[in-house]
Amino acid sequence: MTGMSDTIIRVENIWKQYRLGTINSGTFKEDLGRWLRSTVLGRKDPFSPEEGEPGGSPDPRRKWFWALKDISFEVNKGEVVGVIGKNGAGKSTLLKILSRITRPTRGRIRGIGRVASLLEVGTGFHEELSGRENIFLNGNILGMANREIREKLDQIIAFSGVEKFIDTPVKRYSSGMYVRLAFAVAAHLEPEILIVDEVLAVGDAEFQKRCLGKMNDISKREGCTVIFVSHNMQSIQTLCTRVMLIEQGVLTSQGKPAQVVSDYIRQSRRYDFVKTWPSVSEAPGNQYIRIRKLELLPDWVGNQSIIDIRTPLQICFSFTCLAADINLCLGVHLFTISGDCIFDVSSVPQQIQACTYEAKCTIPGNFLNDGAYYISLIFVKDTSDPLFYLEECLSFEVEDYRENYAWFGKWMGHVRPAFPVQIRPVSGT
Amino acid sequence: MSAPWEINARSGWLRMPIRELSLHRDLLFRLVRKDFLASYQQTILGPVWIFLQPLLVTLTYIAVFKSILGVSTDSSPSPLFYLLGIICWNYFSDSILNISFTYTSYASIFNKVYFSRIIVPCSYLLANFARFGIQFLLFLLLFTGFLIMDRRIHPNLFLLWIPLCLVLLSGLSLGTGLIFASLTAKYRDIQNLLSFLLRILMFVSPVIYPLSIVPDRFKSLFLLNPLTILIEITRYGFLGSGDHSLISLGYCSILTLLILVSGILLFNRRDGIVMDVI
């Protein structure tokens, strides 16, 4: 091993394969049959994981797929590395391999030092044990002696904020308490490498802030190496020294946070903005209404290329009316990704004929909070008779943007209008 | 402190867990304590069950097998005869059952953190051994009582082989448990099979009857079962009746070693691929 002085993790050509579909129904009979065919009769096993070159096109008959393809990278001591990518891109699989929960199918990883990991919501806690006993259990799992853990115990309990329940079995904890305690344990037990998956989204804003601060702290002061997955681009950009982008199991780019993040946002948002249907018969709709075009037009400020909370958004669409003389009213519904309706705006009812119309609606800048949204359209006849409802026809994400704030927790609320609270001095005390 | 590690695709078959166990002593004993305490949580009598359970079973066996069915206990007093068989059998069968559930009971932890997986089966074994130890003290108490009151028992030098018998019984439990843990991790149906197999095994082992009542032509078949050998030798040492051949003990040692090693190998092999299956 050369140059391992600063390198703390070296990942060499990692591949990971998963079996799709019937993972849980592995029955003895099926495997016995396979074993008989392949070993005794000498035929090729059609389900063999090693068959076929890795990276070859996924064959639907062969129920295997590559979650990670040829990932290689190095991490130096004290770095904070952010991993970004879409859901299902392989980020969590990578963290699972790094924290030794599962093995890679090929390749190897070499590293130095204690690894603490925080994957998904419930960490390595035993349900029946109390919070205190779980702190010890996790410490022991990390390879710490009871004495070392006892020294850290008060700090951990204080940080987690669950003092009152520390002797209650963790099965009675709320998911927020669970995560708080889990993070407190992982961050305080002096790991050399801390691996954190998108778990902090569960806690409240105040706790998220403390966690991100703590991660920053232990990397700066104790030289702990942090690898974390997040969908919060703001925290990725603020905390990380380097960002890696994983797309469909491939490490496509890595480098300076600002660069990788803006590249990622730009390309991942490019596609959904325009949809057109040249032929009426294939267009979505029914015997009254056919949608011909849907478009989301961000009103960029300067050379900006991502939608953030400042960007006004124009929703443009055209539709063909197939019936004559309809008193039509058209509504635009905006929902958050979790399904809460933000608004329902509609047009003035008007008489329309059998031809193609265009409609527009603008969501002003400095109105929506950061988050993912989708739009549904509704066509109503005579103000009460629904003709056609097109659900989730456009979706977009609004990125966070903040100036003059050192705080990067999730901002509360569905909207973030720009009317700040005014403070002025009044005389006297 | 800063120990280097490596993760790769193949799990080491031949990795023996001794180093890992000594490195993770604190963890091992924490899990043992947890297993031990967990089984008596939310019970009224708590740890009293450790004594009560074998005593109740002994009384039942005396009533059913001795009094009603008239099964012989050789020349030994039936409480001692049954109690010894029961605590040995319980140790064996509880250990195997617990160990075989390793991956199911610990799935939530194994899914989130890494530590050497073999610590869990070892902790189950130790917890059961602790329980066995306590029950064994109960037996010794009863044994001393009978030794003074009753002239029918003849403890002898075979007592010296009993520590070896207990080591073999532990190894046999661990090895068999590991084999089943590896199998049940992949095939859930094995769990049902296991409780059935254990029941059968209890009937073909001399727990409720002495080997001496088995017809001669089946005896050599029964002596293939290592449990038969271990229980018979233990009984002979304490009570003075039972089959006691050192050749059988030698055979039993070799078989135990084989089972234990293949259990560890199989478990090591499963380790790492198993979490993708559960």
- Specify if A52 maps to a domain: no
* Together in a domain, A85 and A119: yes
More confident residue, B13 or A249: A249
Q: Quick one: pLDDT at residue B177? A: 95
- Specify if A231 maps to a domain: yes
Q: Is the pLDDT of residue A247 over 50?
A: yes
Q: Quick one: pLDDT at residue B180? A: 94
On chain A, the residues whose CB falls within 8 A of the CB of B37 are none
Q: Quick one: pLDDT at residue A261? A: 84
Percent of chain A with pLDDT over 70: 82
Q: How close are the terminal C-alpha atoms of chain B, in Å?
A: 33
Main-chain phi, psi angles of B53, to 5 degrees: -60, -55
**A130: closest chain B residue by CA:** B34
**CB atoms A113 and B3 under 8 Å:** yes
**CB atoms A26 and B114 under 8 Å:** no
The two tokens of residue A187 are 């961050």
Mind listing the pLDDT tens digit for each residue in A194-229?
A: 998 876 666 677 777 788 888 888 888 888 999 988
Mind giving me the DSSP string for chain B? ---EEEEESSPPTT--THHHHHHTHHHHHHHHHHHHHHTTTT-SSTTHHHHHHHHHHHHHHIIIIIIIS---BTBS-HHHHHHHHHHHHHHHHHHHHHHHTHHHHTHHHHTT----TTHHHHHHHHHHHHHHHHHHHHHHHHHHHHHHH-SS----GGGGGHHHHHHHHHHHHHHHHHHHHHHHHH-THHHHHHHHHHHHHHHHTTTSS-GGGS-HHHHHHHTTSHHHHHHHHHHHHHHS-S---HHHHHHHHHHHHHHHHHHHHHHHHHTTTGGGT-
* DSSP helix/strand/coil, A355: coil
CB-side exposure of B269: number of CA atoms within 13 Å?
13
CA-CA distance, A221 to A226, in Å (whole number)?
A: 12
- CA proximity to A315, closest of A299, A304, A336, A339: A299
* Together in a domain, A345 and A228: no
What letter represents residue A283's amino acid? A
Q: Is the pLDDT of residue B2 over 80?
A: no
Chain A closest CA to B37's CA: distance in Å? 10
* Together in a domain, A262 and A277: no
Chain A closest CA to B129's CA: distance in Å? 21
B117 contacts chain A (CB < 8 A): no
**Arithmetic mean of pLDDT over chain B:** 86
Q: Quick one: pLDDT at residue B13? A: 56
Q: Is the pLDDT of residue A386 over 60?
A: yes
What residues of chain A, 18 to 37, have a C-beta less than 8 Å from chain B?
18-19, 23-24, 26-28, 31
**CB atoms B34 and A115 under 8 Å:** no
What letter represents residue B278's amino acid? I
**A18: closest chain B residue by CA:** B276
Q: Quick one: pLDDT at residue A3? A: 43
Under 8 Å CB pairs connecting chains A and B tally to 118
Mind listing the pLDDT tens digit for each residue in A337-375?
A: 777 889 999 999 999 988 999 999 999 988 999 888 889
On chain B, the residues whose CB falls within 8 A of the CB of A127 are 108
CA-CA distance, A113 to A195, in Å (whole number)?
A: 13
CATH code where residue A376 lies = 2.70.50.60
B37 contacts chain A (CB < 8 A): no
B167 contacts chain A (CB < 8 A): no
* Together in a domain, A192 and A222: yes
The most confident of B18-22, B23-27, B29-33, B268-272, by mean pLDDT = B29-33
Q: Quick one: pLDDT at residue A52? A: 42
Q: Quick one: pLDDT at residue A27? A: 58
**CB atoms B112 and A127 under 8 Å:** no
Confidence of residue A402 (pLDDT cuts 50, 70, 90): confident
Cα angle A423-A425-A427, degrees, rounded to a multiple of 5: 155
Segment B21-46 mean pLDDT: 80
Confidence of residue B273 (pLDDT cuts 50, 70, 90): low
Chain B closest CA to A88's CA: distance in Å? 16
On chain A, the residues whose CB falls within 8 A of the CB of B3 are 112-114
**CB atoms B4 and A110 under 8 Å:** yes
**CB atoms B277 and A26 under 8 Å:** yes
A90 contacts chain B (CB < 8 A): no
Q: Quick one: pLDDT at residue B256? A: 96
User: Which range is least confidently modeled, A136-145, A311-320, A338-347, B10-19?
Assistant: B10-19
Residue whose entry in the numeric block shows the structure tokens 């993760």: B7
Residue whose entry in the numeric block shows the structure tokens 């003059």: A404
Mind listing the pLDDT tens digit for each residue in A122-175?
A: 567 888 888 999 899 888 888 788 898 999 999 999 988 888 999 998 888 887
Q: Return the bridge partners of A82, or none.
A: A228, A243
- Specify if A420 maps to a domain: no
**CB atoms B115 and A126 under 8 Å:** no
Q: Is the pLDDT of residue A58 over 80?
A: no
- Specify if A300 maps to a domain: yes
Of A28, A97, A141, Cβ closest to residue B7: A97
- Specify if A132 maps to a domain: yes
Q: Is the pLDDT of residue A30 over 70?
A: no
The two tokens of residue A178 are 């669970």
**CB atoms A107 and B114 under 8 Å:** no
On chain A, the residues whose CB falls within 8 A of the CB of B23 are 143
Confidence of residue B139 (pLDDT cuts 50, 70, 90): very high
**CA A422: distance to chain centroid?**
35
Q: Is the pLDDT of residue B142 over 50?
A: yes
The two tokens of residue A422 are 């005014």
Q: Quick one: pLDDT at residue A50? A: 45
Boundary residue ending a domain (A223, A243, A267): A267
Q: Is the pLDDT of residue B245 over 60?
A: yes
Chain B closest CA to A61's CA: distance in Å? 19
* Together in a domain, A204 and A276: no
**CB atoms B273 and A105 under 8 Å:** no
More confident residue, B211 or A337: B211
- Specify if A64 maps to a domain: no
Residue whose entry in the numeric block shows the structure tokens 């579909």: A21
A65 contacts chain B (CB < 8 A): no
Segment A278-284 mean pLDDT: 85
What residues of chain A, 221 to 240, have a C-beta less than 8 Å from chain B?
none
Q: How close are the terminal C-alpha atoms of chain A, in Å?
A: 68
- Specify if A48 maps to a domain: no
**CB atoms B109 and A124 under 8 Å:** yes
Main-chain phi, psi angles of B42, to 5 degrees: 60, 35
- CA proximity to B153, closest of B258, B90, B73: B73
- Specify if A27 maps to a domain: no
Q: Return the bridge partners of A247, or none.
A: A250
The most confident of A86-95, A190-199, A270-279, A313-322, by mean pLDDT = A313-322
* Together in a domain, A316 and A367: yes
Q: Best mutation site among B40, B112, B117, B189 for testing chain A: the one with the most A CBs within 10 Å?
A: B112
On chain B, the residues whose CB falls within 8 A of the CB of A138 are 113
**CB atoms A111 and B6 under 8 Å:** yes
A128 contacts chain B (CB < 8 A): yes
Q: Quick one: pLDDT at residue A28? A: 61
Q: Quick one: pLDDT at residue A220? A: 86
Q: Is the pLDDT of residue B100 over 60?
A: yes
- CA proximity to B59, closest of B171, B142, B163, B157: B142
Q: Quick one: pLDDT at residue A20? A: 63
- CA proximity to A125, closest of A174, A165, A182, A172: A182
**CB atoms B7 and A146 under 8 Å:** no
**Arithmetic mean of pLDDT over chain A:** 81
Residue B104 CB: number of other CB atoms within 10 A? Answer: 13
CATH code where residue A106 lies = 3.40.50.300
DSSP A134: H
Domain, as residue range, for A241: 7-15+70-267
* Structural domains of chain A, count: 2
Percent of chain B with pLDDT over 70: 93
Domain boundaries, chain B: 24-276
The two tokens of residue A399 are 């990125």
Mind listing the pLDDT tens digit for each residue in B153-184?
A: 888 888 899 999 999 999 999 999 999 998 88
* Together in a domain, A276 and A253: no
